[in-house]
Amino acid sequence: MKIKHFLIDGNSSIKDALTKIDQNSFGIIFSKKKSGEVYGVATDGDIRRSLIAGLGLDDKLDECINKKFYWENENVSRESLIKKLDHKIKVIPILDSKMHLIDVITKENLPEILERPVYARSKSPVRISFGGGGSDLTHYFSNGIGAVINATVSFYSHATLHIRTDAKIVIHSLDLKATLNADNLEDCLNMKGEFGLIQAVIKTINPDFGFELDLHSDFPMSSGLGGSAVVAAAILGCFNQFRKDQWSLHELSELAYQAERLYQGVEGGWQDQYATIFGGFNFIEFKMDQNIVHPLRIPQEILLELEESLILCNTGVQHNSGNIHKDQRNEMRRKDKQKLVQKNVDLCYKLRNQLLRGSLMEFGKSLDSAWTFKRDLSNEISNPYLDDIYNKALDNGAIGGKLLGAGGGGFFLFFVPPSSKHLLLSHLEKEGLQASPFRFESEGLKSWKVRL
């Protein structure tokens, strides 16, 4: 639609105005000053009535224009325009701040809905593990069955992804307090530094486009909450939003494992990836042919009571799960260590049943057994400082608990009866240990798109 066919100088003749109206075919013309400012409108009906009243074709258009006319500015919403056209208005002039005509809206000429920049966002929760640790290592269940029980809680890794129009890659990590800038994928993957996990995930995805990726987490690094898997899941969730054939939950879990274990080369088990991606309370069995995730249907009142009975305590000590798992792999050659893991697996089934039946006091005592089995798997799992934290917690009301993750530091999880919770919290505060409130998270990885 040509705007010039709708504009005419107010000093022009009525005949010239009718010629313009004939050109635009909408029965309307807008009069403007020499500066381009639109100040009036005339329809073919206005002109016809003026001619009947005695004006001639050579008279000025100004004699029959309407200076009180309806118009909209350039920021008007498309929805508002549709409603106006649907009501009684046939032609809507769009004027800028200087009253210059920039568009003419009709039913046949509505503004397009333009594609805006699209961002993918995701969040994935951490897990707390109750039992079965060590049995999710491939070198253990290669000759048997592993089993763990865990639940996701309300601490997350967050990711935001924007696709660029060039091949450049920019990754911002608040956790690392660093930024990676690369001209292309190859440069990104070859860079040395602290982005090893993120680079391994990018290598697994192998994107054929440039992008900007922002990452941050609600929890400290090396905390024993499965944080590496959570970060990997959040990244995968964002990229999955731009796939036509989206990865399933099992495929996402496998990709996260592939990135951290095969590409980054960090020793560890399988449960963290499945826990964060599937979410909720899960009993997970590990076999060489397939891993099976069994969601646990625990009554709400039991979940609420369990939530109130558990205390998450930060030891303030970072750990290296890869080193601990490496030591565990060596130790696993011993038959006595294999038997310990088997006891942990057997206990895992017991923990599952206690949860489902609501036997929470027995569940708390079983956590103590799980810790006893776990700490004997490797000399790297505990130390005198961590043992002292645990033993003093038992002296101040806890009836069980365990160090989360591979061990060596991170978070303790304590189970405490209602009558002793205040005592234990007071003790931890006196010891300078931070108790972190949490809630169970019933969902795992979430990802979505947003238009700006």
Among 272, 289, 376, 388, the one annotated catalytic: 272
> End-to-end CA distance of the chain, in Å?
29
Check if 336 is active-site.
no
CA distances from 428 to 201, 312, 382, 434 (A): 38, 11, 19, 7
Say which residues have a Cβ less than 8 Å from residue 137's Cβ, sequence separation at least 6: 146, 268, 269, 270, 325, 328, 329, 332
Tokens in use for 427? 């003790």
Catalytic residues: 272
